[in-house]
C-alpha cells in the first residue's frame, strides 16, 4: 500500500496523464495522501537573483498562467479527501525530490516529457534527474 503519492505537474500532456494515473492509484488505496507538486518557473524568481526586475504586466501574465495550472490540477484532484496542490520554488528536479523526502512520500508519478521543446530523448531532464536520484519508486507515464 502507498501512503503518500507525489505527482509532478508542469501542465504538459504527459504530466496530465501522470496525474490521472496518480489519482487512480490513490483512489484505490485506503486513506492514501496525494500531493501534486508544481515547481514554479516564473522568470521573476530567476531574474530577481540577478538583481533585475521584470515589468509588472509581464509578471502578471506569468502569475495568471501559473494560477491556471494550479486550477487545472485542483480540478483533477476534486473528490479526493487527502489531496493537495503544492507550488514549489527552485530547480524542478531538486524541489520534487526534496518535497518527497520532507513529506515521506513513497511513490513519485511523473510524465516522461514536459513542456520542453526538444523531444529527441525518451526522458526530459527533470524526469531523468528524478529517476536517477530518487530513493523511492518513480512511475513514468507517457
| 73 sits near ligand ATP (criterion: CB under 6 A) | no
Q: In what order do the strands lie in the sheet with 4-8?
A: 83-88, 33-39, 4-8, 107-111, 138-141
CA distance linking residue 22 with residue 118, whole number of Å: 26
Residue number, 32 or 112, with CB nearest to ligand ATP: 112
Least Å distance between CB 42 and ligand ATP? 10
Which helix or strand (DSSP H or E) is residue 102 part of?
helix 92-102
Joined together, the cell numbers standing for residue 29 give 488505496
Of 38, 83, 114, 138, the one binding Mg ion by CB under 5 A: 114
Interface stretch with ligand ATP, choices 48-56, 58-66, 110-118, 131-139 (CB under 6 A): 110-118
Residue 73 binds which entry of ligand ATP, Mg ion, none, with Cβ cut-offs from 5 to 8 Å by kind?
none
| 111 sits near Mg ion (criterion: CB under 5 A) | no
**Three-state secondary structure call for residue 87:** strand
Binding site for Mg ion (CB under 5 A): 114, 116, 124
Amino acid at each position: 500500500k502507498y501512503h503518500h503519492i507525489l505527482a509532478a505537474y508542469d501542465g504538459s500532456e504527459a504530466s496530465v496523464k501522470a496525474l490521472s494515473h496518480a489519482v487512480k492509484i490513490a483512489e484505490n488505496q485506503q486513506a492514501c495522501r496525494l500531493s501534486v507538486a508544481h515547481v514554479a518557473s516564473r522568470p521573476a524568481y530567476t531574474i530577481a537573483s540577478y538583481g533585475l526586475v521584470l515589468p509588472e504586466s509581464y509578471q502578471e501574465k506569468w502569475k495568471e498562467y501559473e494560477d491556471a495550472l494550479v486550477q487545472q490540477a485542483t480540478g483533477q484532484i476534486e473528490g479526493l479527501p487527502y489531496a493537495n496542490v503544492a507550488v514549489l520554488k527552485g530547480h524542478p528536479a531538486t524541489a520534487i525530490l526534496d518535497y518527497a523526502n520532507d513529506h515521506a512520500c513513497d511513490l513519485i508519478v511523473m510524465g516522461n516529457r514536459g513542456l520542453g521543446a526538444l523531444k529527441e530523448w525518451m526522458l526530459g531532464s527533470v524526469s531523468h534527474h528524478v529517476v536517477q536520484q530518487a530513493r523511492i519508486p518513480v512511475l513514468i507515464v507517457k
